[in-house]
Amino acid sequence: MTDLTALPAWDALKTHAHALREVSLRTLFADDPDRFARLSFTFGPLLADYSKNRITAETLGLLTELAGVRNIESARAAMFAGERINRTENRAVMHVALRNRDEARPMTVDGVDVMPEVRAVRARLKTFAEKVRSGAWTGATGQAIRHVVNIGIGGSHLGPMAVAAALKDAQRADISLDFVSNPDRAQVDDVLGGLDPAVTLFVVASKTFTTVETMANANAAKDWLTAHLGAGAVAKHFAAISTNVDAAVKFGLSPEAVFPMWDWVGGRYSIWSAIGLPLILACGYDTFDQLLAGAEAMDRHFKTAPLEHNLPVILALIGVWNVNFLETAAHAILPYDHRLRLFPFHVQQLDMESNGKGVTLDGAPVATDTGPVIFGGGGSDSQHSFFQLLHQGPRVVPCDFIIAAKGTTGTDASRDLLMANAIAQTEALMKGRSAAELPGVDDALVPHRVFTGNRPTTTLLIEDVSAYTVGMLIALYEHKVFVQGVIWGVNSFDQWGVELGKELAKSLEPAVAGGALAEKALADRDSSTAGLVAAYLKVKQQGPS
């Protein structure tokens, strides 16, 4: 693979960045009254305004040239064709097949159309959810299910949890939905403490049915259930998403309640699969289908639109510009809608687990920075916590503002207040404030009240927080991350960096248990690791708090 930084397109962008470095966003807006119209994009119920980034039409042209020489179009085609683009795991990447709703359109992996199997799983999910929601599927005592608890971690937790919060208004009022991921028993105990086991259904999401944290919580839930209802109750109170049907059945589940996954779906891209079961149980299949429809619309756009008019590509290229040419190391996701408050956590995993890589697909060290540090939170709360750094810190942090024109609750006045704050923040970050704009302020205070501005922002305005728009947003970020991975030459679909910690944790379990094997488990460990284990065991030996 050609060194990215050796490309003429890369050098052209470096030269352009140097020329643009001293040009302020204020000047760019003053020189072009139509800047918003030129640098915004409307697609269905979504408006993307990227005019407050430090870019010009020339910038986008040069970035598009870079995308061309990095073969974005062929990489995109390979993904949609089901080729094994996840080379380090020798797998296809076909989460797009999960939201294909066109009965006549095949999608293949290794030459085999996967759509019949995908549609069959969708039908099973719909049937099972309708049984639970109608009361045809009951718990062991004959009562209808009224509590659903999702037990998973990573992509089996963050995505479903974020979407469930977003679609809160679509949930049945008489079916509660909780999420458990942390092996700290405090979380599962807090959830179980408020539930009635006779009307509770657990959904265990683990592709292998061996994920350590997930199975620890699944066993805790099983112990709680059987203590109240007996061992025979498990089959009526557990469902699972797993490829390991035998292990799930051995755990006590009915095969009817075990739903498959495929190795061509990564965890952080799996919300569209049976991992969406808790959403279907809480919100109904029609709502889930609209989630798929929104993502499918973005897929069609991403697959067919030319690069210069392709929203995921444009946002990806702006991200590369910010990271590699304006040298920004972080990126904030700021939803100004309470229903989207957990969305930043899903994007954080999606982006950082995908592109947080230090080697290219060829195994060579990357020549540039890759994925930025993603963080964020609800916009209103964030204004009163870390926005100080965004406005006046020496490190520039690009931001995505996500706003919804229509609220699901409240009055027009409350929505007006929210929107005024969100849009004002993008203006403040762009404009800043000069000393000349502080008449009458004591000279000693002026430096403290000056804002440099020139802080890049992108605003994503959706009509409302619906299943369709949420599906569009998630797919938009998925494709953005994919394009950036192609530009940087990394594999966006593996996560080997997660594995080392898991391996070391497994080897440390005998040590922290404090048994006869503890000394052997600590042999050849560094002094810090051994010292921390010793300190833990000392407190542990004192007994419960």
By the 8 A CB rule, do 334 and 389 touch?
no
pLDDT-based confidence at 1, cuts 50/70/90? low
Which residues are CB-contacts of 463 (< 8 A; sequence separation ≥ 6)? 45, 404, 405, 406, 469
By the 8 A CB rule, do 474 and 272 touch?
no
Give the global pTM: 0.96
The pLDDT tens digits for 168-225 are 999 999 999 999 999 999 999 999 998 999 999 999 999 899 999 999 999 999 999 9
Percent of the chain at pLDDT exceeding 90 = 92
Q: Are strands 108-109 and 112-113 parallel, antiparallel or unpaired?
A: antiparallel
The pLDDT tens digits for 395-433 are 999 999 999 999 988 888 999 999 999 999 999 999 999
What integer pLDDT is reported at residue 408 of this predicted model? 85
- Whether 384 is catalytic: yes
| φ, ψ of residue 269 in degrees (nearest 5) | -115, 20
Q: Quick check: 517 pLDDT over 80?
A: no
- Whether 213 is catalytic: no
Nearest to 400 by CA among 327, 478, 477: 477
CA 425 to chain centre: 24
By the 8 A CB rule, do 447 and 268 touch?
no
Q: H/E element holding 149? A: strand 147-151
- Average pLDDT, whole number, for the chain? 96
What integer pLDDT is reported at residue 228 of this predicted model? 97
The three-class DSSP label of residue 48 is strand
Angle 111-119-83 (CA atoms, 0-180°, nearest 5)?
Answer: 25
What integer pLDDT is reported at residue 514 of this predicted model? 86
Q: Which CATH superfamily is domain 9-69+305-432+451-492 in?
A: Glucose-6-phosphate isomerase like protein; domain 1 (3.40.50.10490)
pLDDT-based confidence at 237, cuts 50/70/90? very high
The pLDDT tens digits for 56-86 are 999 999 999 999 999 999 999 999 999 999 9
By the 8 A CB rule, do 55 and 318 touch?
yes
- Whether 353 is catalytic: yes
Nearest to 286 by CA among 125, 427, 45, 491: 125
Q: Looking at 301, 353, 357, 391, which residue is catalytic?
A: 353
Which DSSP letter does residue 259 get? E
Q: Looking at 18, 250, 502, 506, which residue is catalytic?
A: 502
CATH of domain 127-289: 3.40.50.10490
**Overall residue count recorded for the chain in this entry:** 545
pLDDT-based confidence at 541, cuts 50/70/90? confident
DSSP string for residues in 292-336: HHHHHHHHHHHHHS-GGG-HHHHHHHHHHIIIIIS---EEEEEEE
The pLDDT tens digits for 355-391 are 999 999 999 999 999 999 999 999 999 999 999 999 9
